[in-house]
Structure 1
Amino acid sequence: MELGEWRRVSPLTIAAQGVRMLGSAIIPAGVVLFGAASQREMLGQVSAYAVPILLLIIAANIVPAWLGWYRLRYRIGTSDVRLEQGIISRSARSVPYERIQDVSLEQKLIARLLGLVEVKFETGAGGKEELKLSLVTEAEGERLRETVRALVEGADEGAAAAKPDAAGEAETRTALQPEGRLLFAMGTGRLLTFGLFSFSLVIFAVILGAVQQLEFLLPFDVWDYAERYIQDEGYFEAGKYIGGMDMAARIIGILYLVLTVVVVGMLSGIAKTFVRDWEFRLDRTAKGFRRRRGLLTKTDVVMPVHRVQALVVSTGIIRRRFGWHGLSFISLAQDSGKANHEVAPFAKMYEIAPIAREAGFELPDGAEEWRRPSPNYYFDRTLIAALFVTVIGILVFTAAGTSAGQLEPGMFVIAGAVVAIIVLIVVRGYFLWRYDRHALDPAQVLSRRGWLAPQVKIANRVKLHSVEISQGPLAKWRGYCRLHFGMAGGRFSFDGLALEDARKLRAAVLGSIASVDYAQLPR
């Protein structure tokens, strides 16, 4: 690849964009044609105009796609990556190499079928300033990634691979990105188990959202149709029928309903997990950690080891009882708009420990001196939350009593609900105080937060940028504070620390930062 040479993306981009645009247009057109065909007097007219309408839709999508491809070009220069695009209004964007944190590849379904990839030049700015190049061949994407990485890391330009011919394309791709050493993978059985723990009711939200968005295209009113169906089927009489059932039958009916929701939620979670994490694989290569996953959208991300800022080990309320945890890296680059890169989303601790060591971290082994935050912090939070719920409950209770003029059974239900919520708030505050911890070892800062779904964060003391103590009026009066560690790519803080404890931690971490010559660290 010649530096400074202007290039265009793959011509197959026209087909990919055309199919994508055609898919979004053909559904409304089909609905309109179907609605017209439902009227018998219009059936002949629809048959006569169906083919011209279809050809018009295809032309309206292919022409803009071709113009967009023709007017888009990119250049890998000696100091930056430049992209120019636009049909009527031209835009040009340039990203210097010193701002590029990583280069990743992504394949959505259509692009994957055509052998194309989208190249993302990530700047570590919360995903707001990513430069995306859509779409190039897989081999071209690999070459772009390796060339730009070599330039970012200050490597010799001659180390970048020259463009091969078609016969040597596969061999060059293998040479540029070796498979490396496998660290973690998830097969079908692991994905199925992961899906069972990933309960989700997103399918209901998708259906309702689709109905609301496409309702104007339908030749009938969805909600009127549903109401007529319920009336015709006699569902309005279901309430009377249920009222005549005995207690045992009602309980069985409720359990059946709950079981149905649970089954749908599990199936939805399994589907979501398979689509997102299909063929999940994490390798240790010469360039860093390489993670590949995805069924419909395949992503290929490489994270250099020295850019891993911290670890996050998380679990859930149920999965932790079975020993399942997830490991994420906090990196300078982004992972689908998030700072955390999932590298082992569903694994045992014995699988997570080697990955953490490869990144230069050690998991807690029990030798750390874990310390609790100030009890005043949790007492104040619990008291404020309880007072807020109490005030809301009093207002609702008063409004209900004013409208009824006397005590009603529903008012006692409101009072009982308020008391139950306050009890839950108190119990939660107590257990958070018991489970939340922080610790400091010679090389790391550790934080454990959460009661039902605990999360452990581990940051390298050398990679922290700053340490800040902050106090609000209440915290200053009560003697606790917030200790915030400046870290590229994420947030790391201890809440509710005793002021004296926070000062000791700050002094220790600042001592570690000051003792390092950052000019000698890898870039």
Structure 2
Amino acid sequence: MSEPDAPQPGAPRNTDPRTVLVGALASAQNAVIPALLIMFGSSGLGLLVAAPIFFAILLIGTLFSYIGWKRLTYIVGDNDIRVESGVLSRSARSVPYERIQDVSLEQKLLPRLFGLVSVKFETGAGGGEDLALSFLTEEDGERLRQLVRERRDSEAVQSGTADGETAAIAAPDEGEVLFAMGPGRLFTFGLFEFSLAVFAVLLGMLQYAESFIDIEIWDADLWRGWIEQGSGRLAETDERLRTVGAIVGLIGVIVIGSLTGMLRVFAREWGFVLERTARGFRRRRGLFTRTDVVMPIHRVQGIKIATGLVRYRFGWHSLRFVSLAQDMGAASHVVAPFARLDEIAPIARAAGFRLPDDGTDWHRASTKFLVDSAISSALGWLVIAGIAFYATREFAPEWTMIATGVPLVIAGLNVIANALAWQYQRHALDAGQIVAARGVLSPRSQIATRLKLHSVEIAQGPLARLRGYATLHLGQAGGTFAIPGVPVARAREVRALVMQTIAATDFSQLERQAAR
């Protein structure tokens, strides 16, 4: 079997012809549900009506898929990659290599069956403006990715804006494994991803249940009669059986919720591997949709460490890279979705960041800010408690204590949470980076390199000006970084130090310094 031809620079090319077949199968997939609804909704002639509609949708989808494939071409030029598409109105888009942040490969289930991939050129523009080619063979996709990277790196060398990556132009992508998740880790991860989404799907399916069964699902009188009949039967049964039934029902909800979350984790994270390669960080994951993303080290702008209310008690965290490119629509790349801190630390070091330790010089948020936050968060619940008190006292006095007490308890918990937050809402600044941490029950932290920050803004509302604190907004490419409740004097000090770093930096040499 001969090797597929590599994409030739300057020559217009179509994507793989099997793209038409993928489009046809996708049309068939989309036609199944309408055909089933028509078949069961049409009495007597259901199949005779549904079959022609199914094949009509399939034929139209295949035709449009062929025309779209035929009219889409791409050209790998000397300075850019160009894509032309459209049938009635043609559109052409050109992306210079120097603007391409990364080239990633994605395989959804249907293309994967034919060995096809979607090549995505991440530009960091956001808003769905990234360029994509669907579909190429796996070999052509990898060759195109390497070719675009080589041309991007060559332009960077000629302009003198890159150094560390130039030696890696022809280097392979295989490298040192920094983090991986096997079936055991995925199973544990799935236990913490409890989800009741399956019940929402079942409720949605009930909208069409009347087409399959001879029962009016939304008839209130029918359900009322069943409940009254069931109550009479339950009264005749033993109390222990009712208790067992309630327990079994609760266990069923927990099991279904856990299985739903676990299936989602296995589908998204199967085969998760993060490697340190000559080109940067390479992440591969996915069971049905397989993604292969490479993130150059010098393009990582910051990191985010997060956890959850329950998983934090067991020592599990997640790590994300803030980057100019997007990760399936998200503003940051997940590089360790379920890991211990001792597993996260080496990944952070490889990206040029250092996790806080016992020697970190923390600066806490202003106590005035936390007092104001506690009052503002509790005020709304106090208003609700007052309204509930007067409403129930007049119309339902027996509910007054409960209706008033619940908002008061929530308001009190808000005050306690803000009081505890003082020692957890903090920030630190050293010679190379700035760190912000917050959260009591599920702490989160964010770290940015001072060298890569673009601006520092001090924002104050009327109350903040009166009370003497501010919010620091740090300009970070590809993400947002805000530190609220900083005393004004400290905010000015941080701004001066960060701006000193920015002003002393020759940004034409930024990638070279970061790569080193």
TM-score (norm 1): 0.87
Q: Helix, strand or coil: the match of 2:154?
A: coil
- Distance in 2 (alpha carbons) for counterparts of 1:370 and 1:481: 17
TM-superposed CA distance for 1:453, in Å, is 1.0
* Residue segments in structure 1 that go unaligned for 5+ positions in a row: 159-174
Q: Helix, strand or coil: the match of 2:194?
A: coil
1:465 aligns with 2:471: no
What's the counterpart of residue 9 of structure 1?
Answer: 15
CA gap of 1:471–1:156, structure 2 versus 1, over 3 A, is closer
TM-superposed CA distance for 1:242, in Å, is 6.4
Q: Which region of structure 1 is more displaced relative to structure 2, 296-305 or 65-74? A: 65-74
Q: Which amino acid aligns with 1:444?
A: Q
Of 276, 280, 299, the match for 1:284:
276
TM-superposed CA distance for 1:250, in Å, is 7.0
What's the counterpart of residue 467 of structure 2?
Answer: 478
1:269 aligns with 2:261: yes
TM-superposed CA distance for 1:23, in Å, is 0.8
Q: Deviations over 1:26-63 (max 9, x none)?
A: 22112312333xx4xx3xx5566665554433322211
What's the counterpart of residue 201 of structure 1?
Answer: 196
Of 336, 347, 352, the match for 1:344:
336
TM-superposed CA distance for 1:218, in Å, is 6.5
What's the counterpart of residue 168 of structure 1?
Answer: none
TM-superposed CA distance for 1:421, in Å, is 1.3
CA gap of 1:513–1:46, structure 2 versus 1, over 3 A, is closer
Q: Which amino acid aligns with 2:196?
A: L
Of 350, 370, 376, the match for 1:358:
350
- Distance in 1 (alpha carbons) for counterparts of 2:182 and 2:430: 36
TM-score (norm 2): 0.88
Q: Which amino acid aligns with 2:492?
A: R
- Distance in 2 (alpha carbons) for counterparts of 1:191 and 1:311: 23
What's the counterpart of residue 392 of structure 1?
Answer: 384
Q: Helix, strand or coil: the match of 2:10?
A: coil
Q: Which region of structure 1 is more displaced relative to structure 2, 350-359 or 223-232? A: 223-232
What's the counterpart of residue 167 of structure 2?
Answer: none
Q: Deviations over 1:312-336 (max 9, x none)?
A: 1222222222222211111111111
CA gap of 1:436–1:228, structure 2 versus 1, over 3 A, is closer
- Contact residue 39 and residue 49 of structure 2 kept, 8 A: no
CA gap of 1:141–1:218, structure 2 versus 1, over 3 A, is farther
What's the counterpart of residue 164 of structure 2?
Answer: none
- Contact residue 35 and residue 50 of structure 2 kept, 8 A: no
TM-superposed CA distance for 1:252, in Å, is 5.7
- Distance in 2 (alpha carbons) for counterparts of 1:137 and 1:229: 59
* Residue segments in structure 2 that go unaligned for 5+ positions in a row: 1-6, 159-169
What's the counterpart of residue 33 of structure 2?
Answer: 27
- Contact residue 388 and residue 404 of structure 2 kept, 8 A: no
Of 186, 191, 197, the match for 1:191:
186
- Contact residue 306 and residue 522 of structure 1 kept, 8 A: yes
Q: Helix, strand or coil: the match of 2:16?
A: coil
CA gap of 1:54–1:400, structure 2 versus 1, over 3 A, is same
- Contact residue 307 and residue 318 of structure 2 kept, 8 A: yes
CA gap of 1:311–1:55, structure 2 versus 1, over 3 A, is closer
What's the counterpart of residue 154 of structure 1?
Answer: 154
Correspondence 1:85-234 to 2 at 5 A = 85-155=85-155, 177-212=172-207, 215=208, 219=211, 224-225=216-217, 227=219, 231=223, 234=226
1:443 aligns with 2:432: yes
- Distance in 2 (alpha carbons) for counterparts of 1:98 and 1:149: 10
What's the counterpart of residue 294 of structure 2?
Answer: 302
- Distance in 2 (alpha carbons) for counterparts of 1:141 and 1:117: 7
Q: Helix, strand or coil: the match of 1:369?
A: coil
1:421 aligns with 2:410: yes
TM-superposed CA distance for 1:521, in Å, is 2.5
Q: Deviations over 1:44-90 (max 9, x none)?
A: x5566665554433322211111111111111222322222122232
What's the counterpart of residue 162 of structure 2?
Answer: none
- Distance in 2 (alpha carbons) for counterparts of 1:177 and 1:203: 43
Q: Which region of structure 1 is more displaced relative to structure 2, 377-386 or 87-96? A: 87-96
- Contact residue 230 and residue 236 of structure 1 kept, 8 A: no
Q: CA RMSD in A?
A: 2.8
Of 491, 497, 500, the match for 2:489:
500
- Contact residue 142 and residue 176 of structure 1 kept, 8 A: no
Q: Which amino acid aligns with 2:120?
A: K
CA gap of 1:243–1:366, structure 2 versus 1, over 3 A, is farther
Of 317, 321, 326, the match for 1:325:
317
- Distance in 2 (alpha carbons) for counterparts of 1:234 and 1:467: 64
1:509 aligns with 2:498: yes
Correspondence 1:246-257 to 2 at 5 A = 254-257=246-249
CA gap of 1:344–1:421, structure 2 versus 1, over 3 A, is same
What's the counterpart of residue 411 of structure 1?
Answer: 400
Q: Helix, strand or coil: the match of 1:365?
A: coil
- Distance in 2 (alpha carbons) for counterparts of 1:380 and 1:370: 22
- Contact residue 150 and residue 156 of structure 1 kept, 8 A: no
- Contact residue 329 and residue 342 of structure 1 kept, 8 A: yes
1:315 aligns with 2:307: yes
- Contact residue 325 and residue 347 of structure 1 kept, 8 A: yes
Q: Deviations over 1:419-460 (max 9, x none)?
A: 111111112211222311111122111111111111111111
- Distance in 2 (alpha carbons) for counterparts of 1:64 and 1:14: 9
What's the counterpart of residue 166 of structure 2?
Answer: none
- Distance in 2 (alpha carbons) for counterparts of 1:253 and 1:437: 49
- Contact residue 35 and residue 218 of structure 1 kept, 8 A: no
TM-superposed CA distance for 1:481, in Å, is 0.3
1:375 aligns with 2:381: no
Q: Which amino acid aligns with 2:331?
A: A
- Contact residue 104 and residue 145 of structure 2 kept, 8 A: yes
TM-superposed CA distance for 1:178, in Å, is 3.2
CA gap of 1:230–1:116, structure 2 versus 1, over 3 A, is farther
- Contact residue 317 and residue 341 of structure 2 kept, 8 A: yes
CA gap of 1:222–1:521, structure 2 versus 1, over 3 A, is farther
Q: Helix, strand or coil: the match of 1:313?
A: strand
TM-superposed CA distance for 1:133, in Å, is 1.2
